[in-house]
Amino acid sequence: MGRLVVAAVAIGLGLASCSSDSDTSASSTTSTTAPTDDRDGALTSAPAPSPEEAVTALLTAEQRGDHQASYRLLSPAGRKALDPGAWARLRNQLPAITELRVDTAADDTGDEGTVVAIVDHAPGLDPFLGLTPARERQTWKAVEQDGGWVVDPEPLIEPEFPAVALAQDSALTWARAVQACDESSAKAQEGVASLFGPIEAAVGLCGSKATVAVGAPEPLLGGPDSQALVAQYGPEALIWARTVSVMGANRPFGLVLAPIGSVWKVVAVLAR
% of the chain residues with pLDDT over 70? 82
**Angle 25-93-223 from CA coordinates, rounded to 5°:** 65
Give the pLDDT band (50/70/90) at residue 145: very high
pLDDT of residue 203: 84
CA distance 10 to 22: 20
Give the pLDDT band (50/70/90) at residue 250: confident
- What the chain holds in terms of domains, given with CATH numbers, is 1-161 (3.10.450), 165-271 (3.10.450)
As a whole number, mean pLDDT of residues 17-25 equals: 39
Tens digits of per-residue pLDDT, 193-229?
Answer: 999 999 988 888 999 999 999 999 999 999 998 999 9
Helix and strand counts by DSSP (H, E) for the chain: 8, 12
pLDDT above 70 (res 9): no
Give the pLDDT band (50/70/90) at residue 107: low
As a whole number, mean pLDDT of residues 136-153 equals: 97
CA distance 184 to 84: 48
pTM for this entry: 0.79
Q: Helix/strand/coil (H, E, C) string of 171-205?
A: HHHHHHHHHCCCHHHHHCCECCCCCECCHHHHHHH
pLDDT of residue 81: 96
Tens digits of per-residue pLDDT, 48-97?
Answer: 999 999 999 999 999 999 999 999 999 999 999 999 999 999 999 999 99
pLDDT of residue 231: 95
Whether the CB-CB separation of 167 and 257 falls below 8 Å is answered with yes
pLDDT of residue 147: 94
What contacts 186, CB < 8 A, 6 or more positions away?
174, 177, 178
Tens digits of per-residue pLDDT, 151-165?
Answer: 999 999 999 999 999
CA distance 170 to 91: 34
Q: Which amino acid is at 30?
A: T
